[in-house]
């Protein structure tokens, strides 16, 4: 089976073609705001402008290689409304024109599935940390249940906000990680875990305040150590509760080496195994949508056009996982 996937929930417009084993092609166009954060309408205009080229390049490669597409998968949500609508419109047209089934994919579930596919994890507790999301999930009774999540902003957003406030630019994650390596001291920061949930907003503000008095590397280091310790604590408890022997890290913040190291130690102490996909499958990409569409279609799921409306608040635990057992 060969599936075409289209992702465009936020910054990245990306189209890909995958089969059961491999990513065959992938093309991207990334929206970079003139200044400040992402503007939903501008991002959707960016996606509309680049759609024909990005989609066209992938379809042309398929044609050149004589490959036949069996379905069209698209990111149905969560994400920015205008971006989602642009992507869904293109996906519907392709499905109609090519006369193949359409599959609406949950973006969070796609991060998980591509992570499993590319890392070899089979039934992990998942820590999904990105610019918009921070969740700890595990498959239980047919759904990815959310064991813990942020009550306010995501960890990626918390780091980016802090980074912007001290003039490091966007995205802040890699810059904060690099500076943290030069730190000498830990500065006390608010550690907020409520039950299984997390809060990063106060921590981000505290780091901005601390930067007025302490060396920037120390602040970056302390922000990371505190936020990641919170995430590891919740992940460990989810693993114990759901009785999972594997831990999988996905999402853009997963590129952070320190977070991976902390999760590795936690897993070692529990006799569990830590999994990390290659970096290019951590952030948003068309392959993750195509691959998830493929396993959904194979399990008998498709999305009639009438049910293909986008869902900006689509939660991963709304999806029936018909293709895997937990």
The answer to whether residue 75 forms part of the interface with ligand ATP (CB under 6 A) is: no
The answer to whether residue 284 forms part of the interface with ligand ATP (CB under 6 A) is: yes
Number of chain residues interacting with ligand ATP (CB under 6 A):
23
Choose, by CB under 6 A, the member of 3, 6, 10, 114 that binds ligand ATP.
10
Buried b or exposed e, range 183-201, using 16+ CB within 10 angstroms: beeebebeebeeeebbbbb
Minimal distance in Å, beta carbon 234 to ligand ATP?
A: 17
Minimal distance in Å, beta carbon 135 to Fe ion?
A: 11
The answer to whether residue 44 forms part of the interface with ligand ATP (CB under 6 A) is: no
Minimal distance in Å, beta carbon 143 to Fe ion?
A: 19
**Per-residue x/- mask for ligand ATP, residues 236 to 265, rule CB under 6 A?**
---------------xxx-xx---------
Hey, what are 121's tokens? 């994890």
The answer to whether residue 174 forms part of the interface with ligand ATP (CB under 6 A) is: yes
- Of 191-220, binders to ligand ATP (CB under 6 A) are none
Q: For ligand ATP, which stretch binds (CB under 6 A), given 54-62, 112-120, 168-176, 294-302?
A: 168-176
Looking at beta carbons only, is 77 or 101 nearer to ligand ATP? 77
**Cis status, amide bond into 78, omega within 30 of 0:** yes
Q: What's the per-residue H, E or C state across the chain?
A: CCEEEEECCCCEEEEEEECCCCEEEEEEEECCCCCCCCCHHHHHHHHHHHHHHHHHHHHHHHHHCCCCCCEEEEEEECCCHHHHHHHHHHHHHHHHHHCCCEEEEEHHHHHHHHHHHHHCCCCCEEEEECCCCEEEEEEECCEEEEEEEECCCCHHHHHHHHHHHCCCCCCCHHHHHHHHCCCCCCCCCCCCEECCEECCHHHHHHHHHHCCCCCHHHHHHHHHHHHHHHHHHHHHHHHHHHCCCEEEEECHHHHCHHHHHHHHHHHHHHCCEEECCCHHHCCCCHHHHHHHHHHHHHCCCCCCHHHCCCCCCCCHHHCCCCCCCC
Choose, by CB under 6 A, the member of 283, 286, 293, 316 that binds ligand ATP.
283
Minimal distance in Å, beta carbon 92 to ligand ATP?
A: 22
Minimal distance in Å, beta carbon 111 to Fe ion?
A: 6
The answer to whether residue 130 forms part of the interface with ligand ATP (CB under 6 A) is: yes
The answer to whether residue 132 forms part of the interface with ligand ATP (CB under 6 A) is: yes
Minimal distance in Å, beta carbon 284 to Fe ion?
A: 4
By CB under 5 A, name the binding residues for Fe ion: 130, 284
Looking at beta carbons only, is 79 or 124 nearer to ligand ATP? 79
Choose, by CB under 6 A, the member of 104, 131, 286, 316 that binds ligand ATP.
131
For tokens 């569409």, name the residue.
293
Minimal distance in Å, beta carbon 38 to ligand ATP?
A: 8
For the chain, what is the largest distance between any 2 Cα atoms, rounded to a whole number of angstroms?
Answer: 62
The answer to whether residue 173 forms part of the interface with ligand ATP (CB under 6 A) is: yes
Residues that bind ligand ATP (CB under 6 A): 9-11, 107, 130-133, 156, 159-160, 171-174, 177, 251-253, 255-256, 283-284
């Amino acid at each position: 089976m060969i599936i075409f996937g289209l992702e465009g929930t936020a910054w990245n417009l990306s189209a890909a073609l995958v089969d059961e084993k491999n990513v065959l092609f992938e093309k991207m166009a990334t929206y970079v705001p003139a200044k400040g954060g992402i503007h939903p309408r501008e991002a959707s205009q960016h996606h509309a402008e680049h759609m024909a080229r990005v989609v066209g390049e992938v379809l042309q490669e398929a044609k050149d290689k004589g490959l036949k597409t069996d379905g069209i998968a698209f990111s149905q949500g969560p994400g920015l409304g205008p971006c989602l609508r642009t992507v869904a419109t293109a996906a519907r047209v392709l499905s109609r024109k090519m006369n193949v089934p359409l599959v609406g994919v949950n973006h969070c579930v796609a991060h998980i599935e591509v992570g499993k596919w590319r890392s070899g994890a089979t039934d992990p507790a998942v820590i999904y940390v990105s610019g918009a999301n921070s969740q700890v999930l595990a498959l239980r009774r047919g759904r990815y249940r959310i064991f813990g999540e942020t009550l306010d902003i995501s960890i990626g957003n918390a780091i980016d906000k802090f980074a912007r406030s001290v003039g490091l630019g966007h995205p802040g994650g890699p810059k904060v990680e690099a500076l943290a390596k030069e730190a000498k001291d830990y500065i006390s920061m608010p550690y907020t875990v409520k039950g299984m949930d997390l809060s990063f907003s106060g921590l981000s503000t505290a780091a901005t305040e601390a930067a007025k008095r302490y060396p920037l590397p120390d602040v970056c280091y302390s922000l990371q150590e505190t936020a990641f310790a919170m995430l590891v604590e919740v992940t460990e408890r989810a693993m114990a509760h759901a009785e999972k022997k594997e831990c999988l890290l996905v999402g853009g913040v997963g590129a952070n080496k320190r977070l991976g190291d902390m999760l590795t130690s936690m897993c070692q102490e529990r006799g569990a195994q830590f999994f990390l996909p290659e970096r290019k499958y951590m952030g948003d990409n068309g392959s993750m949508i195509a691959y998830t569409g493929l396993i959904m279609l194979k399990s008998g799921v498709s999305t009639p056009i009438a049910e293909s409306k986008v869902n900006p608040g689509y939660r991963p635990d709304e999806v029936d996982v018909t293709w895997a057992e937990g």
